[in-house]
Structure 1
Amino acid sequence: MRTLVLLLAGALALASPVLTRPVSAAGPTEGAPPPYDSDLMRLAEILGALHYLRPLCGVTGEGQRWRNEMQALIDTEQPSETRRMKIIASFNRGYSSYGEVYRACTPAARIAVERQLDEGARLAHDIVVRYGGN
């Protein structure tokens, strides 16, 4: 599992420069979302789920890691306020949806963690591969 965590973290780090867009002095402008927007929203949701599930399942030493990854994603993306709120809502949806289902770490919760790590790593990789040249 540690390998999956490192893969997701590495993929997010690789995605960071890719997702950066020039921003005018006035700040980000509202416009059409980038082509990777749905993947980014799903990635935010996954980060929220991991922020809830990892501590629930006794993973120690991460502290605010997944929330910090989310903040780094927002800082890199530099979205408009409207889009920023959508990204945050996706993170919160991931956190709260698992909070409604799991009150204790069960075998199903452990499987959910594995799936979230796998999907998050795949999404981060796909964003870098598909949109890295833009």
Structure 2
Amino acid sequence: MKKLIVMLFAATGLMSATIPPTAVQSPVPDSAPTESPTATPYDSQLNRLAEVLGTVTYLRNLCGADSEPQWRASMEKLIEEDAENEPLRKEALTASFNRGYRAFAAVHTTCTSAARMAESQYRAEGATLVDEMTARFGN
């Protein structure tokens, strides 16, 4: 987990990527099993990180950050590697990312100083979450 999260933040310059308006497609079909996911001690932080990443992705795209097409693949890899055979955890991570993306899409339709400030604050929160998770749960 640690290597993948750090790779995400380092390789993408803290989320300067392009995600299409549909954000990340849910990897879980409608007929997915309903068994309880295997909880990990960092699930709440990882879900928050996914939400933050969705927010930052939307805001950076809105404000004209350079496109980095490898971002979507990196996010999908994070979801795949952290919740490999757990469809409900995959769905939760995808939903968190999309919630962050869509929440700001509903509010910010143009790049403003408030949007730039929010993006900066969310990037800082994402970096803090990564630091906390790797320090506590490591590799």
The TM-score bracket by the shorter chain reads 0.7 to 0.9
How far apart, CA to CA, are the structure 1 residues paired with 2:131 and 2:11? Answer: 6
Q: Give the superposition deviation at 1:64.
A: 5.5
Q: Taking structure 2 as the reference length, what is the TM-score of the superposition? A: 0.70
Aligned to 2:123: 117
Going by fraction, where is helix more abundant, 1 or 2? 1
Aligned to 2:75: 70
- State percent identity of aligned pairs: 41
Query: Does the 8 A contact of 2:79 with 2:90 survive in 1?
Result: yes
Distance 1:58-1:120 versus aligned 2 partners, 3 A rule? same
Paired residues for 1:11-26 under 5 Å: none
1:17-47 residue CA offsets vs partner (Å, 9 max, x unmatched): xxxxxxxxxxxx8554111111000000011
How far apart, CA to CA, are the structure 2 residues paired with 1:97 and 1:68? Answer: 22
Stretches of structure 2 that go unaligned for 5 or more consecutive residues are 1-5, 13-34
Q: Taking structure 1 as the reference length, what is the TM-score of the superposition? A: 0.72
Query: Does the 8 A contact of 1:11 with 1:121 survive in 2?
Result: no
Give the length in aligned residue pairs: 111
Stretches of structure 1 that go unaligned for 5 or more consecutive residues are 1-5, 13-28
Query: Does the 8 A contact of 2:52 with 2:126 survive in 1?
Result: yes
Q: 1:80 aligns with which of 76, 86, 101?
A: 86
Paired residues for 1:28-39 under 5 Å: 30-39=36-45
Pair 1:51 & 2:57 matched: yes
Query: Does the 8 A contact of 1:48 with 1:95 survive in 2?
Result: yes
Query: Does the 8 A contact of 2:37 with 2:88 survive in 1?
Result: no
1:44-78 residue CA offsets vs partner (Å, 9 max, x unmatched): 0011112211110010132452x333212112202
How far apart, CA to CA, are the structure 1 residues paired with 2:57 and 2:126? Answer: 13
Deviating beyond 3 angstroms after TM superposition, the runs of 4 or more aligned structure 1 residues are 29-32
Query: Does the 8 A contact of 2:37 with 2:89 survive in 1?
Result: no
Distance 1:31-1:79 versus aligned 2 partners, 3 A rule? same
Measured on the aligned residues, the alpha-carbon RMSD in Å equals 2.5
